[in-house]
Amino acid sequence: MITRILHVSDLHFGSRDDPAVHEAIRGFVARAEPELIVATGDLTHRGRAAQHDRAATFLRSLGTPVVAVPGNHDIPYSFPARFTHPWREFDRVWETTEPVYTTEAVHLVGVNSVRPWRHQSGGVDDAQLARVSRRLADAPTGALRVVALHHQMIGAPWRTRKKPVARRNHVLAGLVDAGAELILGGHIHQCTVSERHEFEVLDPDARGVVVSIAPGLGRPRPHRRGEACGCVAYRADADSITVETSIWREGNWGLTAVRTFPRGRKRP
């Protein structure tokens, strides 16, 4: 059985929307035929009701189940709403900030890494890690175990000013120990992918984990060197996870990278 997932992030509806990209993603979905679309936050630019409605309408119009987690732009910017009811609009359209999606092929757990008192940096506390562990334990046998959050767990070459999740080592270790096989994030508007054996020195028989950050799907800002507009497609079978990065350029999608990693306890 092959599992297909499409990963988008940082759509930023309400800020220089590009209808051409939005229309083109429909064709991309038709060709990739994912069973699930994962949107890792910053669906809106200022967390306004109308922006949430537009983002949800667009994602749901793609004809594939969508799982979304919030980003730091998906909460109100104004006081006191940012602190008194930060998740009101997100919950209204998505029902929860920490969704669970499960089939025989994929078991995904969403994590809310946004902290209203922080503008950029996010966090995942121990109670959330414990909740992830319990939820991943419910995965059907053989299902790909995925964790999705907004803030990045690994860094890209450019734009290092955007901070990753607070206590990153602790959080990443917690997700790995909980059984995650694929960890998805966004926030930095760049794609970067790594496998556990590439960033952690350990016994070569230890279970592998792929950590992937999607580029933004919203229009890139030209003065931010390194930003790209694109998405990531994943294919997983019993033995491996293949990650395909596609970038929007010159009016079309261009495949820029394909990487395949061992799944589970297979040796890299």
Residue 174 pLDDT > 70: yes
Residues 205, 156: Cα–Cα separation, whole Å: 27
What's residue 198's pLDDT?
83
CB 89 within 8 A of CB 52: yes
pLDDT digits (tens, 9 = 90+) for 199-224: 876 676 778 899 999 998 887 665 66
> Identity (one letter) of the amino acid at 156?
A
Q: Token pair of 164, please? A: 């990753």
Reported as a pLDDT band with limits 50, 70 and 90, residue 268 is very low
Reported as a pLDDT band with limits 50, 70 and 90, residue 89 is very high
What's residue 116's pLDDT?
87
Supply the DSSP symbol for 216.
B
Q: How many CA atoms lie within 13 A of 89 on its CB side?
A: 25
pLDDT digits (tens, 9 = 90+) for 53-88: 999 999 999 999 999 999 999 999 888 888 899 999
Residues 127, 146: Cα–Cα separation, whole Å: 18
Supply the DSSP symbol for 188.
S
What's residue 266's pLDDT?
54
Angstrom CA distances, 111 to 117, 183, 216, 227, 265, stand at 17, 11, 19, 25, 25
What's residue 147's pLDDT?
98
> Which of 104, 136, 109, 137 minimizes the C-alpha distance to 2?
104
pTM: 0.94
What's residue 105's pLDDT?
96
Residue 189 pLDDT > 80: yes
Q: Supply angle C-alpha 142, 99, 12, rounded to 5.
A: 115
